[in-house]
Structure 1
Amino acid sequence: MSRHLDLQARRLQARGEAFYTIGSAGHEGNAAVALALRHTDPAFLHYRDAAFFIQRARMVPGQDPLRDLLLSFAACAEDPISGGRHKVLGSRVLNVPPQTSTIASHLPKAMGTAHSLALTKRLGVAGQWPHDGVVLCSFGDASFNHSTAQGALNAAAWSAYQGLPMPLVWLCEDNGIGISTPTPAGWIAASMTSRPGVHYLACDGLDLLDTWRAAREAVHIARTRRRPVFLHMRCVRLFGHAGSDAQQAYLSPARIQADEARDPLLITAGLLRRHGVLSRDAIAQRYHDLREQVARRAEEAIGRPRLTSAEQVMASIVPPPRPSRIAPWQGTVDVTPDTLARHLNRALERLMGRYPHLVMAGEDIGRKGGVYGVTQKLQARFGAHRVIDTLLDEQSILGLGIGMAQNGLVPILEIQFLAYLHNAEDQLRGEAATLSFFSSGQYTNPMVVRIAGLGYQKGFGGHFHNDNAIAVLRDIPGLLVACPSNGADAVGLLQEAVRLADEEQRVVVVIEPIALYHTRDLFAEGDGAWCFTDPGPEHRLAVGELGQWGTGRDLAIVTYGNGVYLSRQAAERLQAEGIALRIVDLRWLTAIDHDAVHAAVADCARVLIVDECRRSGSPSEELVTGLVERGLDGRQVMRLTAEDSFIPLGRAATVTLPAAEDIVVRARELLGR
Structure 2
Amino acid sequence: MSRHLDLHARRLQARGEAFYTIGSAGHEGNAAIACAFRHTDPAFLHYRDAAFLIQRSRAVPGQTPLWDLLLSFAASAEDPISGGRHKVLGSKTLHIPPQTSTIASHLPKAVGASYSLGLWRRLGGAGEWPVDSVAICSFGDASFNHSTAQGALNAAGWAAYQGAPMPLVMVCEDNGIGISTPTPDGWIEANMRSRPGFHYLACDGLDLLDTWWATREAERIARRRKQPVFLHMRCVRLYGHAGSDAQQAYMTPSRIKADEARDPLLVTAGLLQRHGVLDAAAIEALYRSVAERVAHVAEEAIRRPKLKAAGEVMASIVPPTRPGRARPWQGEVDATPAPMAKLLNQALQRLMIRYPHLVMAGEDIGRKGGVYGVTQRLQAQFGPHRVIDTLLDEQSILGLGIGLGQNGLVPILEIQFLAYLHNAEDQLRGEAATLSFFSNGQYTNPMVVRIAGLGYQKGFGGHFHNDNAIAVLRDIPGLLVACPSNAADAVGLLQEAVRLADEEQRVVVVIEPIALYHTRDLFEEGDQRWCFADPGPEHRLGVGELGVWGEGRELAIVTYGNGVYLSRQAAARLEADGVALRIVDLRWLTAIDHDAVHRLVADCAQILVVDECRRNGSPSEELIAGLVERGMASDRLNRMTAEDSFIPLGRAATVTLPSVESIVEQGRCLTVRRGQVNEIATQMAGATSARSSEA
TM-score, normalising length: structure 2: 0.97
- Bigger radius of gyration: 2
- What amino acid sits opposite 2:630 in the alignment? R
Is 1:419 the counterpart of 2:419 in the alignment?
yes
Q: What is the DSSP-based 3-state SS (H/G/I as helix, E as strand, rest coil) of the residue aligned with 2:231?
A: strand
RMSD: 0.5
Match of 2:684 in 1: none
Partners of 2:492 and 2:283 lie apart in 1 by 66
1:666 deviation in Å?
Answer: 1.1
- The 5-angstrom pairing of residues 178-193 of structure 1 reads 178-193=178-193
Match for 1:539: what amino acid?
H
Per-residue Cα deviation, 1:431-473 (whole angstroms, up to 9, x for no partner): 0000000000000000000000000000112010100000000
Is 1:249 the counterpart of 2:243? The answer is no
Return the offset for 1:671. 2.0
Equivalent AA in structure 2 for residue 248 of structure 1:
Q
The equivalent of 1:598 in structure 2 is: 598
Q: Mapping of 1:284-303 within 5 angstroms?
A: 284-303=284-303
Partners of 2:141 and 2:73 in 1: CA distance: 25
What CA distance in whole angstroms lies between the structure 1 residues aligned with 2:369 and 2:316?
Answer: 37
Deviation at 1:394, TM superposition (A): 0.1
- Tell me what 1:656 maps to: 656
Matched, 1:64 2:73: no
SS in 2 for 1:672: helix
Amino acid in structure 2 at the alignment position of 1:99: Q
Aligned to 2:690: none
- List aligned pairs for 1:575-594, cutoff 5 A: 575-594=575-594
| Aligned positions of 1:86-485 closer than 5 A | 86-485=86-485
Q: State percent identity of aligned pairs.
A: 81
What is the alpha-carbon distance in structure 2 between the residues aligned to residue 47 and residue 58 of structure 1?
A: 20
CA distance in 2, matches of 1:271, 1:510: 57
1:329 CA drift (Å): 0.2
Q: Deviations over 1:357-396 (max 9, x none)?
A: 0000000000000000000000000000000000000000
| Residue 124 of structure 1: how far off its partner (Å) | 2.2
Corresponding residue SS for 2:413: strand
Q: Which residue of 1 aligns with 2:681?
A: none
- CA distance in 2 between counterparts of 1:571 and 1:461 reads 27
CA distance in structure 2 between the partners assigned to 1:347 and 1:446 by the alignment:
19
Partner-residue secondary structure (3-state), 2:220: helix
> Aligned partners of 1:71, 1:254: CA distance in 2, in Å?
36
Following superposition, the deviation at residue 667 of structure 1 comes to 1.2
Correspondence for 1:29: 29
1:493 and 2:493 aligned: yes
Give the Cα separation in 2 of the matches to 1:631 and 1:334.
46
How many angstroms apart in 1 are the aligned matches of 2:672 and 2:581? Answer: 15
Gaps of 5+ in 1: none
> Quick check: 119-128 or 650-659, which moved more?
119-128
Query: Match of 2:576, as an amino acid?
Result: A
Matched residue of 1:47: which SS? coil
Q: How far has the Cα of 1:127 moved from its partner?
A: 0.4
Equivalents in 2 of 1:124, 1:473: separation in Å?
35
> In structure 1, how many angstroms separate the alpha carbons of the residues matched to 2:555 and 2:655?
25
- Supply the AA of the counterpart residue of 1:47: Y
2-structure distance, mates of 1:434, 1:316: 9
Q: Partner letter of residue 189 of structure 1?
A: E
- Superposed displacement of residue 126, structure 1: 2.4
Deviation at 1:506, TM superposition (A): 0.1
SS at match of 2:573: helix
Mapped to 2, the partners of 1:467 and 1:66 lie a distance apart of 50
Distance of 2:560 and 2:167 partners within structure 1: 44
Match of 1:561 in 2: 561
User: Residue 184 of structure 2 aligns to which amino acid in structure 1?
Assistant: P
- C-alpha separation in 1, matches of 2:637 and 2:457: 29
Q: Which amino acid aligns with 1:601?
A: V
Q: Distance in 1 between matches of 2:632 and 2:576?
A: 27
Q: Return the alpha-carbon distance in structure 1 between the equivalents of residues 551 and 536 of structure 2.
A: 26
Task: Give 1:119's aligned amino acid.
Answer: L
Report if aligned partners of 2:452, 2:511 keep a CA contact under 8 Å in 1.
yes
Q: Distance in 1 between matches of 2:234 and 2:333?
A: 61
**Deviations, residues 537-572 of structure 1 (Å, cap 9, x unaligned):** 000000000001100000000000000000000001
TM-score by length of 1: 1.00
- Letter of the 2:548 partner, please give it: Q
Residues 154-184 of structure 1: CA deviation (Å, up to 9, x unaligned): 0000000000000000000000000000000
Give secondary structure in 1 for the equivalent of 2:428: helix
Residue 120 of structure 1 deviates from its aligned partner by 1.1
Equivalents in 1 of 2:378, 2:506: separation in Å? 24
Matches within 5 A, 1:15-26: 15-26=15-26
Cα distance in 1 for partners of 2:218, 2:289 equals 35
Deviation at 1:612, TM superposition (A): 0.1
Instruction: Tell me, yes or no, if structure 1 residue 542 matches structure 2 residue 545.
Output: no
Q: Matched residue of 2:285: which SS? A: helix
Mapped partners of 2:666, 2:180: distance in 1: 57
Q: Residues 331-364 of structure 1: CA distance to partner in whole angstroms, max 9, x if unpaired?
A: 1111111000000000000000000000000000
| Cα offsets for 1:85-105 (capped at 9, x unmatched) | 000000000000000123110
* SS of structure 2 residue aligned to 1:534: coil
Deviation at 1:123, TM superposition (A): 1.0
Q: Residues 579 and 671 of structure 2 are in contact (CA less than 8 Å); yes or no, is this contact kept in structure 1? A: no
**Alignment partners' CA distance in 2, 1:240 and 1:219:** 31
Deviation at 1:213, TM superposition (A): 0.3
Residue type matched to 1:372 in 2?
A: Y
Give the 3-state SS of the residue equivalent to 1:333 in structure 2: coil
Query: For the Cα contact (< 8 Å) 2:492–2:539, is it kept in 1?
Result: yes
Q: CA deviation at 1:125?
A: 2.8
Partner secondary structure for residue 388 of structure 1: strand
Say which SS state the counterpart of residue 94 (structure 1) adopts.
Answer: coil
Give the partner amino acid of 2:84: G
| Residue 672 of structure 1: how far off its partner (Å) | 2.9
Measure how far apart 1:322 and its partner are.
0.1
Matched position secondary structure for 1:603: coil
Opposite residue 363 of structure 1, the aligned amino acid is E
- For the residue of structure 1 that corresponds to 2:301, the secondary structure is helix
Q: What is the number of equivalent residue pairs in this alignment?
A: 673
Name the residue aligned to 1:46.
46
Deviation string for 1:196-229 (max 9, x for gaps)? 1100000000000000000000000000000000
Q: State the Cα distance separating 1:288 from its structure 2 match.
A: 0.4
What is the deviation of 1:631? 1.1
Equivalent position SS for 2:16: coil
- 1:645 offset after TM fit, Å? 0.3
Shift of 1:153: 0.3
TM-fit CA distance, 1:670: 1.9
Secondary structure at 1:612 match in 2: strand
Structure 2: distance between partners of 1:559 and 1:312: 34
Whole-Å separation in 1 of the counterparts to 2:247 and 2:98: 28
Partner Cα separation in structure 2 for residue 171 and residue 434 of structure 1: 23
Q: Map residues 587-666 of structure 1 onto 2, 5 A cutoff.
A: 587-666=587-666
Q: What letter corresponds to residue 245 of structure 2 in structure 1? A: D
Q: What letter is aligned with 2:490?
A: A
